[in-house]
Homo-oligomer: A and B are copies of this chain.
Amino acid sequence: MKINAEDIIRGDQLTGARLIRLLEEGDPAGIGVIKQLYSHTGQAFIMGITGPPGSGKSTLVNCIISEVRRRQLKIAVVAIDPSSPISGGALLGDRIRMRRHTEDDGVFIRSMATRGHLGGLTKTTRETVLVFDAMGYDIILIETVGVGQDEVEIAQFAHSTAVVSLPGMGDDIQAMKAGLLEIGDIFVVNKADIDGADEVVEQLRAMLDMASRTPGQWLAPVLKTVASKERGIVELVDAFWQHRTFLMDSGHFAEHSYNWEFQFFRHLVMEMAADRIFSDIEDSPARQQLLEDLKNRRIDPFSAAEHLIREFAPG
């Protein structure tokens, strides 16, 4: 069944879901549609929300959806689901979340399993964001678990990222903040009705104060929320919007978008080059021999790769 780009542009969710599925499967037809859509993208505000398992991100996302809808904005969510790194899935979570917003045309939620080969998740997430963008969602919210390089990379897709922590987590989480400090535009201490919330807020503020900051730079706020009781959500959405205004006024918005696209482009080039190089190994006795030598440690992988690249593009 052919996918009509027009149906995507007018925001049809069924067609959108079908296109995303095609893209996840790596179907070239999906890419064909993206090409047609591309000039319609670049409009959405991409928000990120990242935090460790157990920090209540999903509840927070649900609250953000409701608040954003109250403001008459359309929102699409990409949830990078760590629950199933290999087998895919995450359907249960999908269903639970969807139930609340399922009859609302202004909301589209998609859980992505972290399946697939190297860079697969990053690639599919980028493509999904493009589809949502073309569909006309004002906001695209990317939810990630906030540890691991891929997650950090995906968090960097966002124009504006909120880092969620919570009171009383172990040393591992406390230490994690040092790195997350650099990707956070907004800091959220969720479950702030638990003992120790103020201490975490203080710690975060102290760490942010220590970080070097040039004049005119964004000052990341530290907010308290209780997502389960829908507390602090208005302030959180306000903070996202203030950061958006800051980015727009400072010219960082356009710059960020271009960096994002260039990285996407570079990644595509890498993948296409590798596909091209490896697709004809079967037909070439010399390359078969190279693999055989590699297998028997007669050649090291670096020399073998250099050899292949030289052959592919001499000069």
Contact between chains at B84 and A301 (CB < 8 Å): no
Name the CB-closest residue of B to A265: B301
Contact with B along A300-315 (1 / 0, CB 8 A): 1111111011001100
User: Is A214 in contact with chain B by the CB < 8 A criterion?
Assistant: no
A196 contacts the other chain (CB 8 A): no
Give, as a whole number of angstroms, the nearest-CB distance from A252 to chain B: 15
- From B147, B273, B294, give the contact of A309 (CB < 8 A): B273
Report A221 CB to chain B, min CB distance, Å. 20
**Of B169, B173, B297, which contacts A42 at CB under 8 A?**
B297
- A interface: dominant SS: helix
Residues in A66-116 with C-beta less than 8 Å from chain B: 82-87, 89, 92-93, 113-114, 116
Copy number in the complex reads 2
Within 8 A of B (CB), among A275-294: 276-278, 291, 294
Task: Indicate if the CB atoms of A175 and B83 lie closer than 8 Å.
Answer: yes
In the complex, whether A149 has a CB less than 8 A from a CB of chain B is yes
A274 at the interface (CB under 8 A from B): yes
Distance from A296 Cβ to chain B, minimum over Cβ atoms (Å)? 10
Could you tell me which residues of chain A, from 160 to 176, have a CB within 8 Å of some CB in chain B? 169-173, 175-176
Residues of B within 8 A of A153 (CB): 118
Asked if A258 CB lies within 8 Å of chain B CBs, one says yes
Establish whether residues A273 and B312, one from each chain, have CB atoms under 8 Å apart when the complex forms. yes
Q: Which residues on the B side are within 8 Å of A152 (C-beta)?
A: 85-86, 114
Are A258 and B145 within 8 A (Cβ)?
no
Q: How far is the CB of A313 from chain B (nearest CB, A)?
A: 5
A26: B residues at CB distance < 8 A: none
Residue of B whose beta carbon sits closest to that of A169: B54
Task: Give the docked Cα–Cα distance between A118 and B85 (Å).
Answer: 18
Nearest CB of chain B from residue A207's CB, rounded to whole Å: 12
Interface residues on A, range: 35 or more
Given contacts A54-B170, A119-B118, contact A35 B147 (CB under 8 A): no
A52 to B85: give the CA distance in the assembly, Å.
Answer: 13
Contact with B along A239-274 (1 / 0, CB 8 A): 000000000000000000010011111111111111
Find the B residue at minimum CB distance from A174.
B83
Task: Compute how far the CA of A140 lies from the CA of B294 in the bound complex, rounded to whole angstroms.
Answer: 22
* A residues adjacent to B (C-beta < 8 A): 31, 34-35, 38-39, 41-42, 52-54, 82-87, 89, 92-93, 113-114, 116, 118-122, 145, 147-153, 169-173, 175-176, 178-183, 258, 261-274, 276-278, 291, 294-295, 297, 300-306, 308-309, 312-313
The 7 closest A-B pairs by CB, nearest first: A148-B148, A53-B172, A38-B300, A83-B175, A273-B273, A84-B179, A54-B170
A-B contact pairs, 18 of them (CB 8 A): A38-B302, A53-B169, A53-B176, A83-B178, A84-B179, A86-B179, A114-B148, A116-B149, A118-B149, A121-B149, A145-B147, A147-B148, A147-B151, A148-B151, A266-B274, A270-B274, A272-B306, A273-B312
